[in-house]
Structures are given as C-alpha cells and as structure tokens.
A = this chain, B = another copy of it.
Amino acid sequence: MFKQTKFDLPQSKLPTAWYNIQADLPVPLPPQYNPVTKELLAPADLEPLFARKLIEQEVSKERYIDIPGEVLDKYKLWRPTTLHRALALEEYLGTPARIYYKYEGMNAAGSHKPNSAIPQVYYNKKEGISRLTTETGAGQWGSSLAMACAFFGLECKVYMVAASYKQKPHRKTMMETWGAQCVSSPSQDTQIGRNILATDPDCGGSLGLAISEALEDALNRNDTHYTLGSVLNHVILHQSIIGLESMEQLKIAGEEGADIVIGCAGGGSNLGGICVPYVKQKLEGRNIRIIAVEPAAAPSLTKGKYTYDYGDVAGLTPIMKMYTLGHTFMPAPVHAGGLRFHGMAPIISHLRHLDLIEALAVNQNNTFKAGVIFAGTEGIISAPESMHAIHAAIEEANKCKESKEEKVILFNLSGHGHFDMSAYQQYLNGSLEKYEYSCDEVEKSLQELPLVKE
C-alpha cells in the first residue's frame, strides 16, 4: 500500500502573512525596561540598534502581518519546507503514534534561521542601513544573516562564540563565501571582548557575551545596525511561518491537527516558530501539549527563575522578564551551541509561565543517542540542537506505545548537523562529555536579580 511520507505545500500556498501571538495572549507580555535608566523602555530607545519596522513588529498586536514581496521572493528559494512523516522511525520504535517532522534544514544556511534573517536584512536595507552585526552560537544564525546580506548587498560582521568557532571552522568559510566577516568571540575588536580576554585569554565565550560585542560594534557606527536571531518578539513573528505551513501540511496528510508539538529551545526561535499557531488553537480549546526541550547545561525554563534580566552579559539589551539562569551564567560548551543561552525568549517564557507550554531538560549524551537512531532510520544527520526535539519525540512515541494511543506528534527538525561531525565523532568514540548545569553557579548568577522591581 502506498503510504505518503513527504508532504509538500505548493509554492502558491506559501503563507503571505506572519502570525503574531501577541494578538491572542490572554495576558499581555510584561513591559521591558531601558538597560541604562531602568525606566520603561520606549520604542525610540531601540532605534540606534534596530530598523523602525522591526521595532513596530516587536510591540505590534496585529494578528497577521503581511510578508513583503521581496522577502517572499527570497523565501521562495527554499520555502515551503517539507513536512515528513517519520514512518521509518515509527516502525523502528513500534509505536502507534504518527510522528511528523517539519524539516527546516533544507536551505543553504542549514536551519530555520533564514526565516528571520531575510526580513531583518530587508527592513534594514529599506531604512538605509548598509552594515549589520550579529552574534552566532553554532553558526546557524551567522550563516543565515551572511546569506541574507549577500542577497540584499549589505556588509555583515558576525561574532561567533569561541567554543563553536573552534569546533566548526567551516561555518566561518561558509559566511565568507557569502561575503561576510566572522571573528571568534570574545574578540579584540570590542572593548567588552578585550576586557574579557585580558582576564581570561582562553574564554570559550557564550551567546550572551557575543551579543554584547555585536551590540557595542553597532552602537559605535552610524551605518550599522544590530540583528538578533532569537529571543525577540519580531524573530518569533517571522518564524511563525514554520507553524503556519505545518498546519496546512498536516491537513494534506489527512490529520485533524497535532496532539503534541515539540521544539528545542535555546533562545526560543524555532520552538516559537512552530508552536505559536498551535498555542492559538490551544487557547481556542483544542487539547494540545507543547514541549520545549532544552539542554541540561543551560536549563533556563526548568531550573531558572522567571524574573527581570538582561539578554546579554554586558547589560546592553533591554531588561526583559524571562526565565533566566542569570546573565553572568556561562553554560558548559555543549555541542548544541545554539542552545547555550542563559535566558529564554520573553514570549516563550510568558507561555511557560501561563502553563501553555511544558519544558524538559536533556543531557547531551541522550540527545546524541536519539540523533543516531534518527540517522539510521530517517537518514538525516541532524544538528545537535534539533536532537533535543528528536529525543522528546521518541520519548512521547514510546509513551504512546505503552498506552496504545495513536497520537499525532509533530516536531521541528530545525537544522542539519553537517558542520557538527566532530561532535558525532566524540559521541561515537564515547568521549562526549555529559555537561549538566551547576546549582552553585546558577545561585550565584541569580543573586543580583531582578534588575528592576517586579
């Protein structure tokens, strides 16, 4: 019997508007504060850093926001992405669950990140900006911004977390192929970088630190803005295209919807992207579980505190209410570099606080075990970040085996692992470190929070 396993949405059905969860939140997002004055944040405070259109999107309550034609033209290079039924994995597990994965690794940059890189570059170009800076963990976001800058002809400088820079040198070449500049963070190119290197020349860096460097660079030049690949509301807005497409594709697959929606969570962009339309369904009364899967080395949702903190180490970002391990917390150098972040997107944090999503922390050995099972069944060599979602999907499918329930499990396979083979090598050699978080360090870094009154 012919069983379809690949569900492609025709390009003519590509969503032409993003979905904004802020329109439907039962409780609005808490306000943000200026990092210097600690007063309520005004949109103008962000103008030295971000395009005005992005600042508008950050606070918008419009339910649907049109995607500009020039952005759609670039999305069309690879979108809509495929929804796969993981039939081979289901057979391997012997589960009655039907497992689907939305594969966001099938574009040139290798992950879901270009979904936001392209509009961010587009809006900045339209407002006369000619150069962008950013940070990158595993290299997925930096590659995506580099590619988007190549498409629109902007200069691009990427601060890449030192630990990942060493693990994945080819990510730098990829960015350079698209004409960008990529340096290891902490770097000698910023004051905060030089300060850290002076006391710790071998510092492995972190996302929070690299954000500080990229912000400092952007603040020092008039032609330059800063971009962020996760955390912010407008990023999750752009990423909503993943969830919107997946809903149409589940219909094509003959499903009424999803029972469980899973995504890995570092800053929250890929989970946010796939889950927000399902959160809307949940608010409308549909029974859906949404699961955020984070690394045991940076377990903000499961072990952090829901309070006011900076998004970066140096305290240059707005003060946001989020689940955080404290902005001075330096996560262990797990291979899932994209998840090495002390905080969590305010939207995801808010949804967790409202009990609309669940959270789970997994150590990296367990995620690689899931990744190798996935490679042997579905073929795909996934990114260490995405393995967190695979792990949870397998766990839920195994529960369905116990309970004999035919649940529909949907997860976001956020990227491929082609630049993470040294991590696979360590796992296969048995030399992968487990890396869990340190209670003491978290306690210390949480001491100075909240930064403003709750």
Contact = CB atoms under 8 A, between A and B. Distances in A.
Interface of A: 2-8, 10-12, 73, 76-80, 84, 87-88, 106-110, 147, 150-151, 169-170, 173-174, 176-179, 372, 375-381, 416, 418-419, 421-422, 424-425, 428
A238 B5 CA distance: 21
A6 B372 CA distance: 31
Contacts of A150: 375-376, 379
Contact of A173 (B5, B11, B106, B428): B428
Contacts of A422: 170, 173
A78 B11 contact: no
A423 to B, nearest CB: 9
Nearest to A423: B173
A151 B380 CA distance: 12
Contact of A174 (B79, B106, B381): B381
Contacts of A110: 418
Contacts of A169: 421
B151 A77 contact: no
Contact of A177 (B10, B77, B378, B381): B381
B12 A147 contact: no
A8 B5 contact: no
A379 B8 contact: no
15 contacts: A2-B12, A4-B11, A6-B80, A73-B87, A77-B379, A108-B380, A151-B379, A170-B425, A173-B422, A173-B428, A176-B424, A176-B425, A177-B428, A416-B418, A418-B419
Nearest to A252: B10
A183 to B, nearest CB: 16
Given A4-B76, A150-B376, A170-B421, 5 more contacts: A8-B11, A174-B381, A176-B424, A178-B376, A418-B419
Nearest to A9: B8
Given A177-B372, A424-B173, A424-B177, A109 B379 contact: yes
A109 B80 CA distance: 22
